[in-house]
A and B are shown apart, each in its own frame.
Chain A
Amino acid sequence: MPAEALGSKSFNMGSWLAWGAAGALVLALPLLFRQGFALTLLSQMGIMVIFALSYNMLLGQGGMLSFGHAVYSGLGAYFAIHALNLIGKGVLALPVSLLPLVGGLAGALFGVLFGWVTTKKSGTTFAMISLGIGEMVAACSLMLPGFFGGEGGITANRQAGPPVLGITYGPAVQVYYLIAVWTFLATAAMFALTRTPLGRIANAVRDNPERAEFVGYDTHVVRFLQLVLASFFAGVAGGLSAINFEIVTAEAVGVMRSGGVLLATFIGGVGFFFGPILGAVIFTFFVVAISAMTKAWLLYLGLFFIAMVLFAPGGVASLLALNLSAARAGLLGRLAPAYAASAAAGLAALAGFVALVEMIYHLKLEAVNDPVLRLFGLTLDVRAAAPWVGAAIVLLAGSALYWLAWKRVRARWNEVHERLGERGA
Chain B
Amino acid sequence: MTHAIELRKVAKRFGRTEVIAGVDLAIARGERHAIIGPNGAGKSTLFNLISGRFPVTDGTILLNGEDVTGLRPFRINRKGLARSFQVTNIFPNLSVFENIRCALLWALGYRYTFWRALSAAADARERAEGVIDAIGLARRRDTPAGTLSYAEQRALEIGITIAGGAEVILLDEPTAGMNRSEAAAAVALIRKVTEGKTLVMVEHDMGVVFDLADRISVLVYGRVIATDRPEAIRADARVQEAYLGTAHA
Contacts and interface: CB of A to CB of B under 8 A. Distances in A.
Interface of A: 192-193, 195-201, 203-204, 206-208, 210-218, 221-222, 225, 229
A225 B164 CA distance: 23
B164 A197 contact: no
Contacts of A212: 91, 102
Nearest to B78: A216
A195 B164 CA distance: 20
Interface string B104-136: 111100111111111101000000000000000
A211 B114 contact: no
Contacts of B121: 197
B92 A225 contact: no
B227 interface: no
A77 B91 CA distance: 37
A214 B77 contact: yes
Nearest to B79: A216
B160 A211 contact: yes
Nearest to A224: B112
The 8 closest A-B pairs by CB, nearest first: A216-B106, A198-B114, A207-B91, A197-B110, A213-B73, A204-B102, A197-B113, A215-B103
Contact of A214 (B82, B110, B117): B82
A193 B113 CA distance: 10
Contacts of B104: 215
Interface residues of B, number: 39
Contacts of B118: 195-197, 199-200
Interface in B54-107: 72-74, 77-78, 82-83, 85, 89-94, 98-99, 101-107
Given A197-B105, A197-B114, A211-B85, 12 more contacts: A196-B116, A197-B110, A197-B121, A199-B118, A200-B101, A200-B105, A201-B112, A204-B91, A215-B105, A216-B164, A217-B74, A221-B112
B217 interface: no
A290 B39 CA distance: 63
Contacts of B175: none
B51 A214 contact: yes
22 contacts: A196-B116, A197-B116, A197-B118, A201-B102, A203-B91, A203-B94, A203-B98, A203-B102, A207-B92, A208-B92, A210-B89, A211-B85, A211-B89, A211-B90, A212-B91, A212-B102, A215-B82, A215-B103, A215-B104, A216-B78, A216-B164, A221-B112
Contacts of B92: 207-208
A207 B94 contact: yes
A197 B111 contact: yes
B98 A200 contact: yes
Contacts, number: 99
Contacts of A206: 93
A215 B118 CA distance: 17
B142 to A, nearest CB: 10
A213 B85 CA distance: 13
A221 B89 CA distance: 21
Given A208-B90, A215-B102, A193 B72 contact: no
Contact of A213 (B72, B99, B113, B114): B72
Contacts of B83: 214
B160 A215 contact: yes
Contacts of B51: 214
A201 B104 CA distance: 11
Contacts of A196: 113-118
B77 to A, nearest CB: 5
B73 A200 contact: no
A29 B113 CA distance: 36
A216 B161 CA distance: 11
Contacts of B107: 216
Contacts of B77: 213-216
B119 A225 contact: no
Contact of A207 (B93, B111, B119, B163): B93
Given A203-B91, A214-B51, A195 B114 contact: no
A144 B77 CA distance: 47
